Structure 1
Amino acid sequence: MHVRGTTKVIAAVLLTGVLLAGCGSGSEDSGGGSTQAGAPAAEPAVGEGARDQAAEGNTSEGKNTPAQAPDLRVDQRSIIYTGSITVRVKDVTAAAAQATGIASAAGGFVGGDERHSGTGSDTANLTLRVPAAKFSSVVDQLAKLGTEEVRGINTQDVTEEVVDLDARISVQKARVDSAKKLLSQAKSLDDLVMLEREVATRESDLASLEAKKRRLADLTALSTITVVLLDPDATQATDPDDEPPGFLAGLSGGWDALKASMAVLLTVLGAVLPWILAIGVPAWAIFYTIRRLRRRQPPAQPAPATPDATS
């Protein structure tokens, strides 16, 4: 009985130890599980920060990357503005000075100035270059110099051309750089000459593309306005193409065509007449002389008939 009691006690102690070990391992497992569960919760924060930085980096780098889609909003498009306005003023000289001042105040300049005076009426043709953002306001200010008679405004959207040029310039720069790298690695004289020629050709193409881009940039940044100033006695020149069609227009066109044809015919006749006098008159004189000599010669007499020998 004593042995059985001792055995039960030992069994109970071993069972308790096993249970305690299981609880300890369970607590460790649960602790490890909580740590592993907590790790993913912390990792997303780090991952989000990295993604944000990568996104910022991609955004900052994407500004200079040709593959990025261009911003084609209305306020970001490249548009060329051109306009013309005709104003009748009291004093052409004073109005021209005011127009020049309007352009200078807007940040522009005078690109051309042509004036006519002393013929009974004064006129002035000014070509103004002003910033595109102030194009409309400048035109309105010019209209207030006197009585506006004609106004015309044209726009040309060159956004696609600008985007295409940017992409082509980027590709051409990469081609130039690659050609220069190959040039630095040339090992023979023939390769050196060939690569130098290739580099020169690619650089020339790149310069041409950049010149086109600068031209478009100038046209989009500065708008062109043609200003015609007329005094009260000046008559505005009319374009013949603006005449309305009709019988009178057709008659006028036919008369103009007839005059042009007659002018051409008289020109040809004037060019040929000296040759006619120099060659035709002597030829006619020779022909006339030969004809008269033939008339003076007596006609040939017929030969007398001979008698037949058999008769």
Structure 2
Amino acid sequence: MDLRDRRRRVVLVAALVAALAAGGCSASGGSDEATSAAGAGTAEQGPAVAPDQAGAGGPAAAGTGAPNLQVEQRSIIYTGTMLVRVDDVDAAARSAVAAVTAAGGFVGGDQRTSVDADARAELSLRVPAARFTGIVDELAGLGRQERREIRTEDVTEETIDLDARISTQRARVESGRKLLARATTISDLVSLEGELAKREADLASLEAKKRRLADLTALSTITLTLLGPDVSTADEETELGFTVGLSGGWKVFLASMTLLLTVLGALLPWLVVLGVPLAVLLVLLRRRRRRNPPAAPVGAAPPPGVGPQPPQVSGAQPPVPATRSAP
């Protein structure tokens, strides 16, 4: 609003009030004029406030500057995790993919096990945020739902902050380009090119974060696990007690014996091919040594310290070694 228009309006209101007090004008006429003046002032003030609100991402609370957006205007990331037990895992998985595709989403990941004893499928589904609740309820109807977990993350303030930083960074990039166009020396040109490249890299990083947030808020993620009727889950309560421990120990013992027998079965052919001839050869060598003991070499000297022993006379006392007396 122009300062001159504001002063003119203040003077006009003051004149109307003075006329009402002095001349005793009718209350209806004064009320109409005051209302028209107030409406004109509001109409003139509206465009001046709109840019501030647009820059803040919506109406702001007085004094705090925090956004006061409605739920429909906020940026919210929805993620869900579901566990559903079905009779036919493959058929249920096909139905889930068809429902997500019909809603405008797509499959981000698909892992399946078709073994009857352990039939399961884990699907990562991306669906539009507006269809998130409906798709979750439709997936729960595929079988018997055993677990559902829905998480939300409000990223409105982060989105607004990114918008402001992107606008500021774009202005910095534009100013850097203008300075680069006016560079006259080589040193200034090199310095400005380096600064401009850094600003453009920062701008690209901010824009990538904004695109990532936009993708997460536009498309919600649902992790769906489908289990067969006889498949146990890891989240089931662990039973305690002597019988449970005995059963677990017996299972471990059987598994260990199975592993041991598997190893023995793998080694048995090698033992038959190599072990039997080797055992026969060792037995033959041992028998040969027993029949032909090794003879002592002729003229071999006795071991050191061992000489010919004198004959022993029966009844004779062994000689007593002489002892030396102390000097």
Which TM-score tier does this pair reach, normalised by the shorter chain?
0.5 to 0.7
Structure 2 CA distance for aligned equivalents of residues 207 and 90 of structure 1: 49
| Equivalences for residues 3-152 of structure 1 within 5 A | 52=43, 55-56=46-47, 59=50, 61-62=51-52, 65=55, 69=60, 70-118=67-115, 120-152=117-149
Residue 169 of structure 2 corresponds to 172
Describe the SS at the equivalent of 2:91.
helix
Amino acid at match of 1:106: A
Contact 2:57 2:160 in 1 (8 A): no
Query: Deviation at 1:119?
Result: 5.6
Query: Deviation at 1:120?
Result: 2.8
Describe the SS at the equivalent of 1:166.
helix
1:234 aligns to 2:231 (yes or no):
yes
Structure 2 CA distance for aligned equivalents of residues 67 and 222 of structure 1: 21
Describe the SS at the equivalent of 1:214.
helix
Query: Deviation at 1:225?
Result: 0.4
Describe the SS at the equivalent of 1:141.
helix
Contact 2:106 2:126 in 1 (8 A): yes
Structure-2 change in CA distance of 1:244 and 1:214 (3 Å): farther
Query: Deviation at 1:177?
Result: 1.2
> Between the two proteins, what is the percent identity of the paired residues?
53
- State the TM-score, normalizing by the size of structure 2: 0.56
| Equivalences for residues 165-244 of structure 1 within 5 A | 165-238=162-235
- State the TM-score, normalizing by the size of structure 1: 0.59
Describe the SS at the equivalent of 2:117.
coil
Q: How many residues are treated as equivalent by the alignment?
A: 213
Give the helix-richer structure, 1 or 2.
1
Structure-2 change in CA distance of 1:149 and 1:51 (3 Å): closer
Residue 320 of structure 2 corresponds to none
Structure 2 CA distance for aligned equivalents of residues 122 and 67 of structure 1: 49
Contact 1:66 1:170 in 2 (8 A): no
C-alpha RMSD of the superposition:
3.6
Contact 1:131 1:221 in 2 (8 A): yes
Query: Deviation at 1:125?
Result: 0.4
Q: Deviations over 1:173-199 (max 9, x none)?
A: 111111111111111111011101111
Query: Deviation at 1:47?
Result: 11
Structure-2 change in CA distance of 1:171 and 1:243 (3 Å): farther
Amino acid at match of 2:124: T
Contact 1:103 1:130 in 2 (8 A): yes
Structure-2 change in CA distance of 1:181 and 1:76 (3 Å): same
Structure 1 CA distance for aligned equivalents of residues 227 and 115 of structure 2: 13
Describe the SS at the equivalent of 1:223.
strand
Structure 1: which 5+ runs fail to align?
1-36, 253-295, 298-306
Query: Deviation at 1:53?
Result: 5.6
Structure 1 CA distance for aligned equivalents of residues 226 and 48 of structure 2: 55
Amino acid at match of 1:117: S
Amino acid at match of 2:75: S
Structure 1 CA distance for aligned equivalents of residues 82 and 110 of structure 2: 15
Contact 1:84 1:151 in 2 (8 A): yes
Residue 268 of structure 1 corresponds to none
Structure 2 CA distance for aligned equivalents of residues 52 and 155 of structure 1: 39
Structure-2 change in CA distance of 1:144 and 1:127 (3 Å): same
Structure 2: which 5+ runs fail to align?
1-14, 17-29, 61-66, 249-303, 306-326
Query: Deviation at 1:66?
Result: 5.0
